[in-house]
Amino acid sequence: MTDRSWRAALERTRRIALGRLSDLFGSSELTPVVWEELETCLVQSDLGAALAAEITAATRKQAAAEGLTRAQGMRRILQERLLSYLSRPSPAVVEVRPLVMVFVGVNGSGKTTSAAKLAARLQAEGRRVLLAAADTYRAAADEQIQQWAARLNVEVILGKPGSDPGAVAYDAAQAAIARGVDVLLVDTSGRMHTSHNLMAELQKICRVTGKLIPGAPHRVVLVLDSTTGQNGVAQARAFMQAVGVTEILLSKLDGSARGGVALAISRQLGLPITYVGLGEGPDDLAPFDPQAYVEALLPPA
Ligand SMILES: Nc1nc2c(ncn2[C@@H]2O[C@H](COP(=O)(O)OP(=O)(O)OP(=O)(O)O)[C@@H](O)[C@H]2O)c(=O)[nH]1
Ligand SMILES: [Mg+2]
């Protein structure tokens, strides 16, 4: 993942939501109007009003402390501030085999695509992986994951449509042990985050894998569609309450004008963002890189 691809993915956020910032960075004096406009820009990039106010106040204070009178140094101060919200420690590396990762999220957020992409990525790094298709809710789900698995040359355990997703997770965990795989990636079905059935189903999937594999699931990855912006934070809270989410995978960062939501998520939920989806292709999944993200988010001075 190059700096250029980060810039390409965040183009819309940078241009549409934060475009005005380049004028601000270029303004000669740091007047109260400049600070007001900074705050407005930040709100537009889906940071949320409270966080936008907090960042503006902190940037303003730092600018005063440094004796900055012109806006030129503002980009650097803002950049440092934004980065400070993103430096959350990643989940501890668990040295167990098989490591179980469960993918959760509302319908259409990008779970299946992301699980398949990550499986391929891990496999390319030399790890043995297995996919579990524990989405038996949607009739075509089987076919979709099978297509991905074939395309990426990853093995998959399927359940019958309408069967118990807990049973699929159980079979997959058994297969993972028997085959000695390193990582089992469990895809789950999506529904609204307010669905009780979904949450009960996810809890069962987690319980069932934990019966066969100590400590499983070791990672619960919440897949959030970055185009949903602030609503993603509400979704995240619902999943966090039901299952022990360990991290966020922020999908569809490409094409979103709400890319600033990554900051709101980190700040408000205290969860690390571990991966981002930057397109629909098999290679369009990258480890989250806070430095590259912030650099690509802000327009040039
Ligand atoms: N542009 C872009 N599209 C993505 C990305 N990730 C997923 N998609 C697309 O989003 C759509 C939904 O992705 P899925 O992986 O099927 O989502 P899901 O969460 O498994 O959906 P359900 O199983 O129905 O809940 C598909 O058309 C994907 O190609 C991404 O990072 N960028
Ligand atoms: Mg799916």
Query: Along the 301 residues of the chain, how does pLDDT read in single tens digits?
Result: 677 888 998 999 898 888 888 888 888 788 999 999 999 999 888 888 999 999 999 999 999 999 998 888 899 999 999 999 887 666 666 678 999 999 999 999 999 999 999 999 999 999 999 999 999 888 788 889 999 999 999 999 998 778 899 999 999 999 999 999 999 999 999 988 888 899 999 999 999 999 999 999 999 999 999 998 888 888 999 999 999 999 999 999 988 888 888 888 888 888 999 999 998 989 899 999 999 999 999 998 7
Count of other CB atoms within 10 angstroms of residue 139: 9
Distance 187 CA to ligand 1 centre (A): 12
Distance 47 CA to ligand 1 centre (A): 23
Nearest ligand 1 atom to the CA of 107 is 25
Q: Which ligand is the nearest neighbour of the Cα of 111?
A: 1
Contact 280 CB / ligand 1 (< 6 Å): yes
Distance 43 CA to ligand 1 centre (A): 26
Q: Do residues 301 and 75 lie in contact, with contact meaning Cβ atoms separated by under 8 Å?
A: yes
Contact 109 CB / ligand 1 (< 6 Å): yes
The pLDDT value given to residue 256: 85
Structure tokens at 48: 């949320």
Distance 109 CA to ligand 1 centre (A): 6
The pLDDT value given to residue 4: 80
The pLDDT value given to residue 195: 85
The pLDDT value given to residue 93: 66
Query: Which of 100, 92, 66 lies closest to 81, judged by CA?
Result: 66
Strand partners, 286: 276
Residue 235, classified by CB atoms within 10 Å of its CB into exposed (0-12), middle (13-18) or buried (19+), is buried
The pLDDT value given to residue 5: 84
The pLDDT value given to residue 92: 64
Contact 105 CB / ligand 1 (< 6 Å): yes
Structure tokens at 39: 């705050």
Distance 273 CA to ligand 2 centre (A): 20
The pLDDT value given to residue 301: 78
Between strands 247-251 and 273-277, the pairing is: parallel
Contact 135 CB / ligand 1 (< 6 Å): yes
Between strands 285-287 and 273-277, the pairing is: antiparallel
Nearest ligand 1 atom to the CA of 255 is 1
* 3 state DSSP class of 71: helix
- Atom 7, ligand 1: residue with shortest CA distance: 110
Read off the amino acid at residue 197.
Answer: N
The pLDDT value given to residue 100: 97
Helix locations, the chain, DSSP H? 3-9, 11-12, 20-26, 32-44, 49-65, 74-86, 111-124, 141-152, 165-179, 196-212, 231-242, 261-269, 290-297
pTM of the predicted model over 0.85: yes
Query: Which of 273, 271, 268, 279 lies closest to 292, judged by CA?
Result: 273
Contact 251 CB / ligand 1 (< 6 Å): yes
Contact 279 CB / ligand 1 (< 6 Å): yes
Distance 19 CA to ligand 2 centre (A): 34
Cβ neighbours of residue 231 under 8 Å, at least 6 residues apart?
none
